[in-house]
Amino acid sequence: MIATRAVPGAHTLSEILSQPRCWTECLRALEEQNQLDRVLKQFGAQTDWLFVGCGSSFYIAQVAAASWTALTGLRARAVPASDVLLFPDLILSDARPCQPVLISRSGHTSEVLKAAEYLESRRNIRTLAITCVAGQPLENIATDTLQLLPADEKSMVMTRSFSSMVIGLQALAAALGHQLSFTEALKKLSIFAQTAFGPLPARVRQFAESHDFADYVFLAQGPFYGLANEAMLKVKEMSCAYAQCFHTLEFRHGPKAIVSPDVLITFFISESGYAAEREVLEEVKGLGGITLVVANVADAATRRAADFLVELNLDVPEYARLAAYIFTGQLLGLMTGLKKGLDPDSPRNLTRTVILKD
């Protein structure tokens, strides 16, 4: 029998492309299984929220915390699970209790499990988990768990599980903040994104194949910063390339020394901070940088300064667009890895879940 050879990156590509459909399925699962109401009955009175994860799930935490405050008006922070274990007194205070949300695609990452055990058993704090795999240890430790099972992946790196958990947590925030129109916008996003994403895989492949960069920089502000971190991680994981992330306006304060035609500088431009972020884009272009811009709507100045422009044109509020911004970063990591002859489905040195020996 002839063994069929796996096509490099095939799982990752199909998982990236499946995102709009997957978001619809996840929102349906939350609604039909009454998951949001159930969770809010238990945790809905909390005023301070703490989002916890590792790797991509930590970056979900950053996007979720920003969205949480915007949609509910409540305080929310993001921390890596390791900080809960190593510096708990910087995070937890008896005087000001917080509600932890533990984020993990696998529900099996050691640091997340240890953080959950520490919070539940040692600090007597009830935890909420969100995961994409049923029956994993996290579910047994946490008080309650949101499950987004359609978002699990075959590949090692997180793509649709990232964007789906962002959307799942935004749906929870919208329910808590009684933002019915935002919930509707999340549903519409799937439809609009399908159109916006259509030509992108071919465009990003062509761009990756025709350029060689020594370094990749991702810039964003506010709720977009977690997305820039995640794009940086995608490029590192899938293409084993050097990649960095900064707040857009922070780039002027030293990092801009690295601008050169060997560095791709990607801007995730927000609507709220558009003018200030575009000024940095123009400055970087003036210094001779190669620029990739993801914006919802681009003006003439942005068009002039962008070597590669992704205009999303999504007719939903700014926070409901966040998940769609990651698509280009995922494709850039995938296409760059394929160009280098790597298999982005199983990057070197990585495992799907980091399980530590005791």
Binding site for ligand F1P (CB under 6 A): 54-57, 104-106, 109, 112, 156-158, 237, 350, 352-354
Q: How far is CA 349 from CA 76, 155, 310, 354, in A?
A: 33, 14, 32, 11
Closer of 145 and 270 to ligand F1P (Cβ): 145
Residue 98: both structure tokens together: 């917080």
Closer of 63 and 156 to ligand F1P (Cβ): 156
CB-count burial class (<10 Å; 0-12, 13-18, 19+) for 275: exposed
Closer of 157 and 186 to ligand F1P (Cβ): 157
Question: Nearest approach, Cβ of 316 to ligand F1P (angstroms)?
Answer: 26
Instruction: Assess contact for 308 and 207: CB atoms under 8 A.
Output: yes
- What is the spatial distance between Cα 118 and Cα 190, in angstroms, rounded to a whole number? 37
Closer of 277 and 345 to ligand F1P (Cβ): 345
Bridge partners (DSSP) of residue 176 are none
CA dihedral 300, 294, 182, 134 (to 10 degrees): 170
Q: How far is CA 81 from CA 59, 68, 103, 209, 271, in A?
A: 12, 19, 9, 37, 31
Closer of 57 and 72 to ligand F1P (Cβ): 57
Question: Nearest approach, Cβ of 201 to ligand F1P (angstroms)?
Answer: 21
Question: Nearest approach, Cβ of 347 to ligand F1P (angstroms)?
Answer: 8
Question: Nearest approach, Cβ of 133 to ligand F1P (angstroms)?
Answer: 8
Closer of 59 and 224 to ligand F1P (Cβ): 59
Question: Nearest approach, Cβ of 210 to ligand F1P (angstroms)?
Answer: 28
Question: Nearest approach, Cβ of 109 to ligand F1P (angstroms)?
Answer: 3
Bridge partners (DSSP) of residue 79 are 52
Residue with the CB atom nearest ligand F1P in the bound state: 55
Cα 220 to its chain centre, rounded Å, is 13
